[in-house]
Structure 1
């Protein structure tokens, strides 16, 4: 079996994925030859190429660079999102290369370092990025593999040769997080999701319960108050957190000042006063409580947290302001599950009470749309006007009868419409929104620049 010390080259199949690209950057920083395949060019693959990583877009075995055809020194990393019929993947497997899922490689890293692993059906990207920021700005320091591009560092990968900690998302998709060995672990949510993998909600819960049993002796678990977790053994410390119910970590004296929350925090180690958020939204207060809890458990002190927290600028596509004017607000968010939409809409309503809220939503995956059509309808009914785009298929083939119309048919809201993106501009001309949200985990992010420019015309014309 190929050992990490013997690796000279690493080839990634699906290198443009947010998690895969972070690993690619890590191995590049370690001085290894790195290249990979992805289906289409994106801003992220452009950045990788600028950093000296070769990215190819044709699934052609013959054009794989010769450097990556030596099985004695080349590690192949792939994402489960790549179909099993992929020609390059088939070539490496048939020729007995060391072929590993991204999660398996992250698992190797957690066994060599102190893993700070953030799990949950939603919230994990923001919490892990906040945690990494708080630790990075402290004497403790950290390495990090993140599921989003942080606005503070303009990357999804952080390197600190002097820190033994590595912060990462613990992804439940395909049970990937069961490859990890956390030292500190957080669980933010256990909603039914990825039922194409798990089949039923009970299997999702089983996987999360297996995950927390993987925490190494002497480590700690922090989980959201009320989650139905089977707690690990006595050699692992256990804490709870919440923004709405009292837990071991719990905010109080919460105040909204100029669109950002200030609060104090109750912790098992005493109270921390004068904390201020750098990103908006009540949902981010709860995310911050979890991140602060992990940071304290890792040894970050309260003064370092108090100084770093307001400087956290957020993550691209996580409650990201595109326009923030008196007469027009545009926020873009990655929400793609009914509970995430509920949380995002509630945060917007708290910030802009009385304002008319327009949502543009692109459903992600046919199976998720089928399984949660009722939940999506209920969440979107809390808005004032909704435009639904076609389903983004990602790794899936179409399912007969499953379209965005399924959600429309279940909604009670009068102002709801299924349309193509290019018709959206015309719709907005006749009824300019006060607050508009774009939501989804597909390729809706390719449309946001264009929509932002179009909406700014309304401000200019006024």
Structure 2
């Protein structure tokens, strides 16, 4: 039996892939930094060994899968090559794995994790399916004919696959450490579209997606009447009941649906799933039931009530100005009678610098704003700005540290909305400790 070693196994995609391979009866282990990440629990629950980085972790006979953040000079990768072991990059291995199935890639600048999670939850009830979600969740089905995975546009990694079907949620400018501008981002998605084998499902409300060309059919979904699949009569329900909406296919009524989430972005994610499932002849009743039951993915509007105070804590991965804005809006729609306190940790110096004014404008839609130090990430550990540069653009905003975490207690009957793609959970944990003391 093959044994796989993951270099950087705590990454969201790497953790999920390790779980898939284990489900497919493969021996799996991995290594990473000793710092704890939210992806670790799933690995621990499956008893997948995780070691600190060390070249001695690499043994003859292993197959190495290397995370995207780790260069070829990493000690474990160097050791693997000295032993003549096969070394695959994460995105290359995914591309090869997808070829064994009828494959569905879910991509886009925003919303791909939530959409992948929702599609996997709905579709696996229709047909045996393996899936990889970018929140660190993976599931392998050895009887599965389908593979659904979150496909990332960073550094054009998604071009290492040739999916049968592809959902594209939107195209916006991001990853300014790699892409030059929006046109450069579009060119990557355009190249992907030409690699899709059977059909594309794209949000027609996005201007750039209307320009996509492909050799296969493109099915458009969205709010606008020109879309093949259109949603109408959206109602955000009170009492934590979710959102209801109608779906029309080429202006003919198809069905009435309900989801637990809030915000137009979640309606669009659901509509993408509805469009794909209709194309694949999944019964409407089954889609409707599964959509209503889905509870979301990790770190996407994950809620908890805090003890001893009238506050609701929400943890969200939002790290782009558009994501920040729609997440704040979703919190307002779900809790219209509460103040929204945004606690934001920027992710990477390059993104913060590129979107400084946009971040400020999005955060100002909250009632109160706290800012945490910029999270540099493994690929970018320093920059030419600090969190104070963003603070200067947001009137009344404050810097949050462990030393003043108790200041959050003053916001009675509020939503504490923690947003960021780094380690913002450490501030959440500190506040929970403060409430117990």
Shared fold, TM over 0.5: yes
Whole-Å separation in 1 of the counterparts to 2:381 and 2:67? 21
Q: How does 1:28-427 map to 2 (within 5 A)?
A: 28-40=22-34, 41-42=36-37, 44-57=39-52, 59-64=53-58, 66=59, 69-70=60-61, 74-138=62-126, 140-148=127-135, 156-216=137-197, 218-229=198-209, 230-234=211-215, 236-243=216-223, 247-258=227-238, 259=240, 260-268=242-250, 270-323=252-305, 327-353=310-336, 355-411=338-394, 413=395, 415-425=396-406, 427=407
Whole-Å separation in 2 of the counterparts to 1:183 and 1:112? 11
Whole-Å separation in 1 of the counterparts to 2:200 and 2:109? 20
CA shift digits 1:302-326 (9 cap, x unpaired): 0111111111011121011112899
Give me the CA root mean square deviation. 2.4
Q: Is the 8 A contact 2:39 2:135 kept in 1?
A: no
CA distance change for structure 1 residues 34 and 113 in 2, over 3 Å: closer, same or farther?
same
Larger mean Cα displacement after TM superposition, 381-390 or 94-103: 94-103
Whole-Å separation in 2 of the counterparts to 1:419 and 1:160? 44
CA shift digits 1:162-188 (9 cap, x unpaired): 331111011011211001111111111
Shift of 1:291: 1.6
TM-score normalised over the length of structure 2: 0.91
TM-score normalised over the length of structure 1: 0.87
Whole-Å separation in 1 of the counterparts to 2:141 and 2:379? 38
The unaligned stretches of length 5 or more in structure 2 are none
Question: Secondary structure, in 3 states, of the residue corresponding to 1:308?
Answer: helix
CA distance change for structure 1 residues 233 and 188 in 2, over 3 Å: closer, same or farther?
closer
Shift of 1:327: 4.5
Shift of 1:428: 2.2
Q: Is the 8 A contact 2:95 2:160 kept in 1?
A: yes
CA distance change for structure 1 residues 455 and 280 in 2, over 3 Å: closer, same or farther?
farther
How many residue pairs were aligned? 432
Q: Is the 8 A contact 1:370 1:402 kept in 2?
A: yes
Aligned counterpart in structure 2 of residue 11 of structure 1, from 5, 9, 31:
5
Q: Is the 8 A contact 2:108 2:171 kept in 1?
A: yes
Aligned residue number for residue 152 of structure 1: none
Shift of 1:105: 1.0
Shift of 1:398: 4.4
CA shift digits 1:31-55 (9 cap, x unpaired): 2221111112445335424423221
